[in-house]
Structure 1
Amino acid sequence: MLRVLAVDDEEPALGELLYLLRADPRVRTAEGAGDATAALRRIGRALESGPDGEDAVDVVFLDIHMPGLTGLTGLDVARLLAGFARPPLVVFVTAHEGFALQAFDLKAVDYVLKPVRRERLAEAVRRVHELVHATTAPAPAAAPEQIPVELGGVTRFVPVDDIAYVEAHGDYARLHTDQGSHLVRIPLSALEERWADRGFVRIHRSHLVALARIDELRLDGGATSVRIGDTDLAVSRRHARQLRDLLMRRAGG
């Protein structure tokens, strides 16, 4: 079961969040903190205690805007936690949609919008519970990288491993998965740099593809293309040789 710390500077919002968390059967304990300073103090005790200590915290549900004497936001707290070897997981709970990409950069497990709905919070708890359970193995695996997308006014996180290819749309990018596509406000060049070590390769100024998802490489009259599922994508001359080399090395290795 989960040991939870909820952080929000608005007392009614914090009280409601704690009420919902304590009602979830996967939550063992849920404590509250009213500002970043109190949260960091409590998390410090948890880190000193270790993952199995009596003061341990598995996950922090963080508000983003928390005016106070320190000026620290929930994002600042998450950045500080990222510097520790075994920090608690982070779920952001906020009324603002515009910080989803920063949450993605900070590897948050989820991003829940206020007003918090019981069903949506339960989904976030489920994700945390699965990750905490997975990391109890002797050699814990890192949490899968995810990217936030907007679906009907709700922010969801799509695993990067589910993405077959990405299509440029100006300063936006469209992520294509087996389940559908999602438009995100981040340029293709930024995703190319971020996901280079995850097997994504640029094949055209408009497309970034997951190397492992390429089913066929086609050469037709000097033109090169790839097939991913039922989709054919053109490969520019600039990228064709590099792509062929990568596919050959992958096939031989």
Structure 2
Amino acid sequence: MLRVLAVDDEKPALEELLYLLRSDSRITSAEGATDATEALRRISRALEAGPDGEDGIDVVFLDIHMAGLTGLDVARLLAGFARPPLIVFVTAHEGFAVQAFDLKAVDYVLKPVRRERLAEAVRRVRDLVVSARELRQSEPVDPGAYTPAAHTPVANTATSGPAVPQHAPAAGVLPGGVAGPEQIPVELGGVTRFVPIDDIAYVEAQGDYARLHTKEGSHLVRIPLSTLEERWASRGFVRIHRSHLVALARIDELRLDAGTTTVRVGDAELAVSRRHARQLRDLLMHPR
């Protein structure tokens, strides 16, 4: 069962969110705070009390635009603690998803909040909290340590769409120490989904955005191709053209024809620029 703190400086929005949260049977308690200072004070008490204390908080549902400190500011401050509560952002603005997921948010819910969408966010949080509790029970208890639920990155929670995700956490390891697949959040029609990076065959540059191509379809995220190139190099993604980043393991054919090089990735045939052709051939012919 979850203990929740909801933070929003607009009282009607806070009351509506608390109403929806309290109507969810998976939530034991849901309290509200109308500004960042009050929220940080309550969270500090929770951290001092420990995960099983009377004032414990498992997750903070956090608005972004608030007077004084923003929700992103609060998340940055919490990141300085060894084991902060989980964070779900609840906002009317799509454009902060990248920063939100960089801060290890579990989810990114857009206003107006729909009951079904909020229930999905609660499910994700509950799964992480349960995993973290099981992990604590299997290890010696340290009274001075608070081990909240492990976070997982969120992405089609930009998830897909000018989705704003983007920046997935360290590969395969969730903040609470629980192993899990790396995902990228993507936003589509107000719904945040999480796309496993291993499902992505290639990425196509589209201005300041990048389109992720998987077997099931494609997702647009607001992140430059150069950034994904740097972050996903260790996962086997290589630049083959100024417009394309490809997963080496997904290349089915390499073709050389009259001085031009192309690769086939599933049903797509992609051009390889001259500057990248030699490196790509070496990687394919002499895998490390």
What range is the shorter-chain TM-score in?
0.7 to 0.9
Q: What is the DSSP-based 3-state SS (H/G/I as helix, E as strand, rest coil) of the residue aligned with 2:218?
A: strand
Listed one character per residue, the Cα deviations across residues 88-143 of structure 1 (whole Å, up to 9, x for unaligned) are 22111112222222223222221111121111111111121222233333552268
The whole-number CA distance in structure 2 between the counterparts of 1:37 and 1:28 is: 24
What percent identity do the matched residue pairs reach?
Answer: 74
Indicate the residue corresponding to 2:255 in structure 1: 219
Shift in alpha-carbon separation, 1:27–1:247, aligned structure 2, 3 A: farther
Q: Give me the CA root mean square deviation.
A: 2.3
1:20: Cα distance to partner?
0.8
Equivalent runs, 1:44-59 vs 2, <5 Å: 44-59=44-59
- Taking the aligned partners of 2:97 and 2:276, their CA distance within structure 1 comes to 32
Matched residue type, 2:89: F
Instruction: Tell me whether 98-107 or 163-172 shows the greater mean CA deviation.
Output: 98-107
Quick one: structure 1 residues 23 and 223, their matched pair in 2 at CA, closer, same or farther if it must change by over 3 Å?
same
What TM-score does the superposition give when structure 2 sets the normalisation length? 0.76
Matched residues in 1 for 2:57 and 2:192: separation?
24
Within the candidate set 214, 220, 244, 1:207 is matched to 244
Consecutive unaligned residues in structure 2, runs of 5 or more: 139-176
Match of 1:119 in 2: 116
Q: CA 1:94–1:239 in structure 2 vs 1: closer, same or farther (change >3 Å)? A: same
CA apart distance, 1:21: 0.8
- Alignment CA distance shift 1:42-1:249 (3 Å): farther
* Mean CA deviation greater in 214-223 or 101-110: 214-223
| Aligned counterpart for 1:146 among listed residues 169, 184, 190 | 184
Q: Which amino acid aligns with 1:97?
A: E
1:61 pairs with 2:58 = no
1:102 matched residue in structure 2:
99
After TM superposition, give the deviation of residue 155 of structure 1 in Å: 4.4
Query: Deviation above 6 Å: which 4+ runs of structure 1?
Result: none
Higher relative strand content = 1
- Indicate whether 1:156 and 2:192 are aligned: yes
Shift in alpha-carbon separation, 1:29–1:203, aligned structure 2, 3 A: same
SS of 1:159's equivalent in the other structure is strand
The one-letter amino acid paired with 1:186 is I
The count of residues paired between Structure 1 and Structure 2 equals 245
**Conserved? CA contact 2:181–2:196, under 8 Å:** no
Q: Structure 1: which 5+ residue stretches go unaligned?
A: none
Structure 2 counterpart of 1:4, one-letter code: V
**Is 1:242 equivalent to 2:279 in the alignment?**
yes
The aligned amino acid for 1:236 is S
Length-normalised TM-score, structure 1? 0.85
8 Å Cα contact 2:6-2:33 kept in structure 1: yes
Aligned to 1:232, the other structure's residue is in SS state strand
Separation in 2 of the partners of 1:14 and 1:78? 18
Cα 1:218–1:122 change in 2 (3 A) is: same
